[in-house]
Each structure stands twice: as structure tokens, then as C-alpha cells.
């Protein structure tokens, strides 16, 4: 495979990363910040609140399946643009109708289009710097972590203060603000996708990705999907239930976003060095610790430490999967393998929010859901340890 060259590769990577700010920072995790206001204004239970992120995960699963079917017939750049624009529009529409049916439809739409954008953007990022393993690993990690962290930090800095000043009934304004911010990022992402023209692979030999030999990595990714989503979905609700101040809520989410942006520099060496499941295992242990810390240490230090540990790790499992696939499989199989892993992730992600909401409703403490999620993440780490490089016998 011949490397292709870009005149402004880091600017292109920044444009790609903005799509993760849209699909994940805005599309998935801003909901956790708006959720307390929606619960109070619309009188939802924890289960109903969890359902909306489950609806988003159902859409994400559908989008991952669609991507797996389309990735070898439609250019990844084209799917990426469709997904990014569709996600932004879905977010802007979320504030239009308060009914649970309309909210569910918007969350499903954000999931479907977000999966197209997220997976295809990862494929494009993996095509950069193929002649330098360390820069390639950094590009993959920056794609996932840089954009997602930016989206989290922006939402954390603005939404809690806005909702506190304007009141919980302004949840619809919050969604309009998120949607318009996403639309403002779209032109840069479209430009970046147009700059990447990796070598044609239509005539390259294709084989079915060796999924059985990837089971350790795939199952661990499934446990990640089951456990991680509980923290960003219910962290703000947990803080509100414990009378945490608006300033500390905002500071915690900004710290979370800044930590996510720093995470690629922490993990790039590990991702470049190891071709096994070890990076995923270590990352999941860190995510588990961050998930449990608010409950185990329910004070200012515990919350900020939780944001730091969780933020430095929870955007890295997609990087670990992408890096593992890039190091162990030929390029024509990257898109299909990443899509297959994402399907497993998306299926498990469906259960996390509604399951944690059910636990919170039945125990009266949403923190119990955070502890169960931490246990699931540790189970995923145990599975990842067993994943060997695909070249090993």
C-alpha cells in the first residue's frame, strides 16, 4: 500500500475531529447535561431518561450495520459527510417537540447519522501517516479524543450555566444551541473529507476479517459500550440529586472535556507499541475507576479526579480498536472490521442507559448504576487481556 500525502495534514485531521465533536460531544454526551432540566420540566423517571440514550444507541446500531453494508460500495468520505450533516440536523430538531415519541425519533436519527460519521471518519483518519506508526497512532487518537473533548468542554462550559440562569424549561433552547453549533462545524468537516484520497482499493484482494480471532477485543468493546455510557448519561443527574452547585457541575464537565483532548498524548505510545488487546485492557480499567469515583468519593476532589481519570480514557477504546485493526489487517478490510466491532459496541450500548435508569428507579440511587457500570468495564478489561495479535499462533 502506497502512502498518500497531504499538504496540510494536521488541519485536515482537525476538520475530521470536528465531526466527533458533533457525533459524540454534541450528539451523544450533551444529553447528559440537558437531561436534569428535561426530567424536571417534563416529569420523567430515570428509566424514561435512560430510554432516550438507549434510543440513540439503537440508532447507532442501525447506522453501524448500514455502514458495514455500504463501506465497500460507497466512498467513506461521502458516507462521512452524509453522517455529519445528518447528525447536526437531528440535534437542531430535538428542541422542536417535547413528546417522548418525537424526542426518541431525534435521538435515533442522531445515532444513525452519528455512526456513519464516526466510523467513516475513523477509517479516513487511519489512512493518514501510514508510513509512520507513531504519527498514525497519534492521528487516530486525536481524531477520536480531540474532537470529542472539544465538544464536551464547550457543552460543559455553556449548558449548565445557561440552564441554571434560564431555568429547566429552557431545555429546548439548549438543543437549538447545540444543533446550530454543530451546523457551524459542518463546512470544515466537509472540506477535510474532500482532502483525503487514499489509494484505491477496489481491485485489492479482500478477505473476510478474522472475527473469531478478534473475539477478545470485540467482547471487551461490547462491555465498554455497556458500561461507559452510564457515566455521561447520568453524571449530571447524580450531581443534581446530591445538590452539587452549578459551578462545580460546569467545572467537572469542562475538566472532562479537557482531559479527553489530552488523552491522545497519554495513550499514543501504548497504541503504537502493542498489537494485542493490552491497550484496551488498561484503558478499560481506567474508565472503570473513573466511573466509580463519584460514588466512592462524593466530594469536590472525587468529582474532579473522576472527570480527569474518565476523560483521559473513555474516548480511547475506539482508538484502540482502530489501531488494532490497522496493525493486524490489510487496508481493504479496515472499514468492515471496524464496522463489525462497532456493531457489537452499539448492541451493548443499547442496554446501558435504560438498565442504569431502571436500577436508579428501583434503588433510589442512580449512583448504584454507576457502580454496576464500573463492574462491567472491569469484565471487559479481563476479556481484552486475552486478545493476542492476529499474527500470533
Domain boundaries, the chain: 9-198+211-385
Ramachandran class of 129: left when φ > 0, alpha when ψ lies in -120 to 50, beta otherwise: left
Those residues with Cβ within 8 angstroms of residue 183's Cβ, 6 or more apart along the chain or in another chain: 88, 89, 92
Residue 393: all three cell numbers together = 499462533
Task: Give the per-residue pLDDT at 64.
Answer: 83
- CA 364 to mean position of chain CA atoms: 28
Task: Give the per-residue pLDDT at 310.
Answer: 94
Task: Give the per-residue pLDDT at 35.
Answer: 87
- Helix axis angle for 334-363 and 230-241, nearest 10°, is 30
Task: Give the per-residue pLDDT at 45.
Answer: 86
Cα distance between residue 108 and residue 27, in whole Å: 10
Q: What pTM value is reported for the model? A: 0.79
Provide the 8-state DSSP code for 387: P
How far, CA to CA in Å, does 247 sit from each of 178, 244, 251, 254?
20, 8, 6, 11
Residues in the chain: 393
Task: Give the per-residue pLDDT at 238.
Answer: 87
Closest CA to 71 of 20, 116, 36, 137: 116
- Helix axis angle for 100-126 and 334-363, nearest 10°, is 140
Task: Give the per-residue pLDDT at 208.
Answer: 65
Task: Give the per-residue pLDDT at 322.
Answer: 84
Cα distance between residue 369 and residue 361, in whole Å: 10
Closest CA to 180 of 369, 367, 26: 26
Task: Give the per-residue pLDDT at 209.
Answer: 64
Alpha helices (H) along the chain: 9-20, 30-42, 46-70, 76-93, 100-126, 133-166, 171-195, 215-228, 230-241, 246-273, 278-296, 300-311, 316-328, 334-363, 366-385
Those residues with Cβ within 8 angstroms of residue 312's Cβ, 6 or more apart along the chain or in another chain: 259, 260, 262, 263, 266, 286
Q: Hey, what CATH topology would domain 9-198+211-385 get?
A: Growth Hormone; Chain: A; (1.20.1250)
Q: What is the CA radius of gyration of the chain?
A: 19
Other CB atoms within 10 Å distance of the CB of residue 300: 13
> What does the pLDDT profile of the chain (393 residues) look like in tens digits?
444 456 688 899 999 999 999 998 898 888 888 988 998 899 888 888 888 888 998 998 899 888 878 877 888 889 999 999 999 999 999 999 989 899 999 999 999 999 999 889 988 888 888 777 778 878 887 887 788 889 988 998 899 999 999 999 999 999 999 999 999 999 999 999 888 775 554 445 555 667 778 888 999 999 999 899 888 888 888 888 888 888 999 999 999 989 988 888 888 788 878 888 899 999 999 999 999 999 999 888 999 999 999 999 988 898 888 888 888 888 777 777 877 888 888 888 888 788 888 888 888 888 888 999 999 999 999 999 998 887 643
Other CB atoms within 10 Å distance of the CB of residue 15: 23
Which helix or strand (DSSP H or E) is residue 5 part of? none
The residue to which cell 416529569 is assigned = 43
Phi, psi dihedral angles at 70 (to 5 degrees): -100, -20
Amino acid at each position: 500500500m502506497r502512502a498518500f500525502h497531504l499538504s496540510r495534514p494536521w488541519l485536515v485531521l482537525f476538520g475530521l475531529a470536528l465531526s466527533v465533536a458533533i457525533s459524540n460531544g454534541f450528539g451523544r454526551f450533551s444529553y447528559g447535561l440537558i437531561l436534569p432540566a428535561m426530567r424536571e420540566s417534563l416529569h420523567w423517571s430515570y428509566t424514561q431518561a435512560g430510554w432516550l440514550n438507549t434510543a440513540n444507541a439503537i440508532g447507532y446500531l442501525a447506522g453501524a450495520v448500514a455502514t458495514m453494508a455500504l463501506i465497500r460500495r460507497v466512498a467513506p468520505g461521502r458516507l462521512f459527510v452524509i453522517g455529519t450533516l445528518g447528525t447536526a440536523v437531528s440535534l437542531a430538531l430535538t428542541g422542536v417537540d417535547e413528546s417522548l415519541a418525537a424526542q426518541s425519533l431525534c435521538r435515533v436519527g442522531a445515532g444513525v447519522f452519528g455512526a456513519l460519521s464516526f466510523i467513516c471518519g475513523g477509517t479516513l483518519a487511519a489512512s493518514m501517516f501510514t508510513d509512520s506508526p507513531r504519527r498514525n497512532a497519534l492521528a487516530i487518537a486525536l481524531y477520536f479524543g480531540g474532537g470529542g473533548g472539544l465538544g464536551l468542554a464547550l457543552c460543559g462550559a455553556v449548558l449548565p450555566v445557561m440552564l441554571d440562569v434560564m431555568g429547566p424549561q429552557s431545555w429546548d433552547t439548549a438543543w437549538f444551541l447545540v444543533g446550530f453549533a454543530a451546523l457551524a462545524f459542518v463546512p470544515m468537516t466537509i472540506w477535510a473529507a474532500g482532502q483525503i484520497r487514499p489509494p484505491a482499493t477496489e481491485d485489492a484482494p479482500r478477505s473476510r476479517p478474522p472475527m473469531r480471532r478478534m473475539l477478545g477485543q470485540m467482547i471487551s468493546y461490547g462491555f465498554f459500550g455497556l458500561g461507559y455510557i452510564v457515566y455521561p448519561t447520568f453524571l449530571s443527574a447524580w450531581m443534581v440529586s446530591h445538590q452539587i452547585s452549578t459551578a462545580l457541575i460546569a467545572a467537572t464537565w469542562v475538566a472532562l472535556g479537557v482531559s479527553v483532548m489530552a488523552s491522545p498524548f497519554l495513550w499514543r505510545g501504548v497504541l503504537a507499541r502493542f498489537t494485542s488487546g493490552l491497550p484496551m485492557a488498561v484503558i478499560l480499567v481506567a474508565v472503570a475507576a473513573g466511573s466509580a469515583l463519584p460514588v466512592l468519593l462524593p466530594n469536590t476532589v472525587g468529582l474532579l479526579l473522576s472527570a480527569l481519570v474518565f476523560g483521559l480514557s473513555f474516548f480511547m477504546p475506539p482508538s484502540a480498536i482502530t489501531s488494532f485493526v490497522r496493525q493486524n489487517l490489510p487496508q481493504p478490510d479496515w472499514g468492515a472490521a471496524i464496522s463489525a466491532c462497532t456493531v457489537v459496541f452499539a448492541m451493548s450500548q443499547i442496554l446501558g442507559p435504560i438498565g442504569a435508569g431502571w436500577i436508579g428507579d428501583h434503588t433510589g440511587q442512580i449512583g448504584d448504576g454507576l457502580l454496576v457500570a464500573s463492574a462491567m468495564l472491569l469484565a471487559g478489561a479481563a476479556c481484552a487481556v486475552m486478545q493476542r495479535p492476529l499474527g500470533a499462533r
